[in-house]
Structure 1
Amino acid sequence: MKESIDVVGGLVTPAAQDGIAAGTLAPACGRCRTERGMVSAEWAVGIIAAIAIAGVLLSVVTSGPVESAILKFILLVIKHFAVGLG
């Protein structure tokens, strides 16, 4: 008798059947292939979002007032370290 037990989206085969070894997890309805594609799509959306955020940050940081403030801060830090060394 060939029995199969449904376990979270797969089939655990207690006895070898249809070329599947005993005790292995077989995909149900071929969902493994489509899930891999969804993972790739999610990564692509995440990468595009990260690039968009980086572009916005770059435009903000290189704007006149922000760039000037950052430069003043860096020069102030360098000045304090130079005073501490001398």
Structure 2
Amino acid sequence: MLPYGLDYKYITDASILTKPIGYEKLFFYAEKLSKPFPFVRADFYLNDNNILFGELTFTPAAGLDIELNNKEIRNVDIIIGNLLNLNRI
């Protein structure tokens, strides 16, 4: 749902973006699939107005923040992780 064109240039005029067919269903399915988990991102694709499930991702930043070299930034993972309550699992 990011405002980028096929050439990966950022679209500054958001009025030319139209809401995709199936937009509400995407959120419905995302809520259903993510309900059992305290933290998850649900990815979908829209192909010819068909909703296709992509994946469930259980790490923020797609896990890419582990490559950061700044010790203070790496400690953010610990701080955020400590906020996550896993008691309901």
Q: TM-score per shorter chain, which class?
A: under 0.3
If each structure's strand is expressed as a fraction of its own residues, which one has the higher value?
2
If each structure's helix is expressed as a fraction of its own residues, which one has the higher value?
1
- If the length of structure 2 is used for normalisation, what is the TM-score? 0.24
- If the length of structure 1 is used for normalisation, what is the TM-score? 0.25
Name which one, 1 or 2, has greater alpha-carbon Rg: 1
Q: Per chain length, whose mean CA-contact separation is higher, i.e. which structure has more relative contact order (CA < 8 Å, sep 6+)?
A: 2
